[in-house]
Amino acid sequence: MAHANYIFTSESVSEGHPDKVCDRISDEIVDLIYREARKTDADPWAVRIACETLATTNRVIIAGEVRLPKSLMKTDKDGKEVVNAGRIRSAARRAIKDIGYEQDGFHWKTAKIDVLLHSQSADIAQGVDKSHETRDQEGGGDVAEGAGDQGIMFGYACRETPEMMPAPIYYSHRILELLSAARKKGEGEPGKLGPDAKSQVSIRYENDQPVEATSIVLSIQHMDESWDSKKVREVCEPYIREALEGLPIADDCVWFINPTGKFVIGGPDGDAGLTGRKIIVDTYGGAAPHGGGAFSGKDTTKVDRSAAYMARYLAKNVVSAKLADKCTIQIAYAIGVAQPVSVYVNLHDTANNVTEAQVQDAIRATVDLSPTGIRRHLDLNKPIYAKTAAYGHFGRKPGRDGSFSWEKLDLASKLKAAIKP
C-alpha cells in the first residue's frame, strides 16, 4: 500500500521551450491537413499524419509520412505528385510567430525550413485502413480501422483539483500560462520576458491529499540583459502566487528563480528541440504511468494519441460518477487490429462499492474502443490540436470548436448505469 505522507514534484515547460516549439509546429500541420480535408470535401477519415519536427539555430526540419488532400499536393517538374512544401512552411512560420520568436538566432521570418514529408507506407496503411478482423469480410456497412501501431496507453483522474488532475502538474502548468499571457500583452516589465521557460512545483501531501507547496522552481528567458535572478523573481513572483491560489505556500518554501543567473539566449537557438520529448509534461507529471508514445504530429488513427485521450475521458468519468476517487486506465492495442487486446482498471483502493472488474465490464459495454469508435465518440477528425501542444493535453476546458472533448463528463451516468452486481 502506498504511503500517504510524502512530497511529490512535477514540471512543466512553456510554449517557447525548444521541444514545445516542435510539438506546436507538428500539430499546426495536423490542423492544416484536417482543415483542408474538411474545407475541400476530402474525407477527414482518410487523413494520415506522422509529422516530426526538429528545430535548432534558425533552422527547422519537418519530416514524416502523410496522406494528404489534393489541395496540399502539387506536381513537380517531372510530373510527379508531391507535398506542397510552401503550405507546410507557412504553417510553421505562423506557429513560430505566434509563440513570439523574433530573435537573431531564431526568427519566424528568417529561419530556414526544410520539408521532408512523404507518402505513408503502404505496409502500414493496409493494416490501418481495414482491420485484421474485417479485412476479408464482404458486404456493406462500416469497416473498422485497425490501430496504427501496437502499444499501451494510460488515462488518469483524481480529486486533487477541480480539473481532476494531480496538483503538482496542474500548478506547474498554471504558472507558465499566466506568465505567457502577461508576456504576450507586451506591457511593462512582464513584456520583457521571453518565450522559453520551465517551471517545477513540489507539493507536500498528508493523507494522500495536497496541503502546501514546499519548493518552486522557475527558469524563464528575459530579453533585458541587465536582469539578474533577483529582478526576475520580482517580476514573476506575483504571477506565481496567483497561479498557486488555493494551494498554501509553506513558510519554509524554497524558491529557485533563474538559479543559474542570466537567461537571454533561449528557444531552439539555445538548445535543439524535437517533437515528442515532453510526454510526461503532456500528461500527468509523473503521477500516473505513461505508455511511452507521444501525441503531437499524429492523426487520430494513431492510438498513441486517440486512445490516450479516450483513457483520460474514461478515467475522468469514472471519478465523476463517484465510482472511485482515483482511477488509472490502461488500453492496449495490436497494429492493424481494431479492438484493444486488453483494458485494465486500477481504482487505487478508493472504490465506492464497485470492483475494478465491474468498471472494466462497464467500459466495454458503454464505449467502442476501436480507433473508429474513439474518433466518432470524441469527434476527433477536426483541426483542434495546435492548442494541445503546450500546457498539457489534459485538465483543459472543452472548447466550442470541439477541442478537448475528452475532458467532458457526459459518460458518467452511463458508466454508473452499466455497473452490474
Per-residue pLDDT of 29-65, as tens digits, reads 999 999 999 988 778 888 999 999 999 999 999 999 9
Q: What is the pLDDT of residue 141?
A: 40
pLDDT in tens, 175-216: 999 999 999 999 999 999 999 999 999 999 999 999 999 999
CB atoms within 10 A of CB 191: 13
- Which residues touch 123 (CB under 8 Å, ≥6 apart)? none
Domains parsed from the chain with CATH numbers: 6-14+167-272 (3.30.300.10), 18-123 (3.30.300.10), 151-159+275-286+299-418 (3.30.300.10)
Q: Is the pLDDT of residue 420 over 90?
A: no
pLDDT in tens, 102-115: 999 999 999 999 99
Q: Is the pLDDT of residue 273 over 70?
A: yes
Q: Is the pLDDT of residue 343 over 60?
A: yes
Q: What is the pLDDT of residue 2?
A: 62
Q: Is the pLDDT of residue 118 over 50?
A: yes
- Which residues touch 129 (CB under 8 Å, ≥6 apart)? 143, 145, 146
Q: Active-site residue 118, yes or no?
A: no
Q: Is the pLDDT of residue 163 over 70?
A: yes
pLDDT band at 232 (very low <50, low <70, confident <90, very high): very high
Q: Active-site residue 262, yes or no?
A: no
- Of 198, 222, 316, 377, catalytic: 198
CB atoms within 10 A of CB 341: 12
Question: pTM of the prediction?
Answer: 0.94
Q: Is 313 exposed, middle or buried (0-12, 13-18, 19+ CB in 10 A)?
A: buried
Q: Active-site residue 302, yes or no?
A: yes
- Which residues touch 388 (CB under 8 Å, ≥6 apart)? 27, 295, 296, 396, 403, 404
Residue with the three cell numbers 536582469: 227
How far apart CA 198 and CA 204 sit, in angstroms, is: 20
Q: What is the pLDDT of residue 80?
A: 83
- Of 302, 305, 316, 375, catalytic: 302
Residue 117: name the closest of 30, 214, 243, 204 by CA.
30
Most confident segment among 3-7, 116-120, 243-247: 243-247
pLDDT in tens, 380-394: 999 999 999 999 999
Query: What sign results for the dihedral spanned by CA atoms 78, 70, 370, 294?
Result: positive
Q: Is the pLDDT of residue 222 over 60?
A: yes
- Of 63, 125, 272, 332, catalytic: 272
Tell me the mean pLDDT in the region 212-240. 97
Helices then strands, each counted (H, E), the chain = 10, 15
Q: Active-site residue 206, yes or no?
A: no
Q: What is the pLDDT of residue 138?
A: 37
How far apart CA 212 and CA 205 sit, in angstroms, is: 8
Q: Active-site residue 43, yes or no?
A: no
pLDDT in tens, 134-158: 444 433 344 567 887 899 999 999 9
Q: Active-site residue 271, yes or no?
A: yes
- Of 93, 183, 278, 393, catalytic: 278
- Of 8, 11, 15, 19, catalytic: 19
- Of 8, 263, 295, 404, catalytic: 263
Q: Active-site residue 80, yes or no?
A: no
**Hey, is 400 helix, strand or coil?**
coil
How far apart CA 33 and CA 21 sit, in angstroms, is: 19
Residue 161: name the closest of 252, 250, 284, 290 by CA.
284
For residue 218, the 8-state DSSP code is E
- Of 11, 28, 36, 52, catalytic: 52
Contact status, residue 66 vs residue 119, Cβ threshold 8 Å: yes
Q: Active-site residue 298, yes or no?
A: yes
Q: Is the pLDDT of residue 131 over 60?
A: no
- Of 24, 183, 298, 393, catalytic: 298
pLDDT in tens, 62-90: 999 999 888 888 888 888 888 899 999 99
Q: Active-site residue 272, yes or no?
A: yes
pLDDT band at 292 (very low <50, low <70, confident <90, very high): very high
How far apart CA 337 and CA 133 sit, in angstroms, is: 7
Q: What is the mean pLDDT of the chain?
A: 93
Q: Active-site residue 198, yes or no?
A: yes
Q: What is the pLDDT of residue 188?
A: 95
CB atoms within 10 A of CB 277: 17
- Which residues touch 387 (CB under 8 Å, ≥6 apart)? 399, 403
How far apart CA 163 and CA 94 sit, in angstroms, is: 30
Task: Report percent pLDDT > 90 for the chain.
Answer: 84
Q: Is the pLDDT of residue 366 over 90?
A: yes
Q: What is the pLDDT of residue 136?
A: 41
Q: Active-site residue 39, yes or no?
A: no
Residue with the three cell numbers 520539408: 115
Q: Active-site residue 97, yes or no?
A: no
How far apart CA 409 and CA 112 sit, in angstroms, is: 44
- Of 271, 356, 361, 368, catalytic: 271
Starting at the edge strand found earlier in the chain, the sheet holding 326-333 runs 151-158, 326-333, 342-346
Task: Give Cα 267 distance to the centre of its chain.
Answer: 19
Helix (H) / strand (E) element for 204: namely strand 193-206
Q: What are phi and psi of 377, to 5 degrees?
A: -65, -40
Tell me the mean pLDDT in the region 216-228. 97
Helix (H) / strand (E) element for 91: namely helix 85-99
**Hey, is 200 helix, strand or coil?**
strand
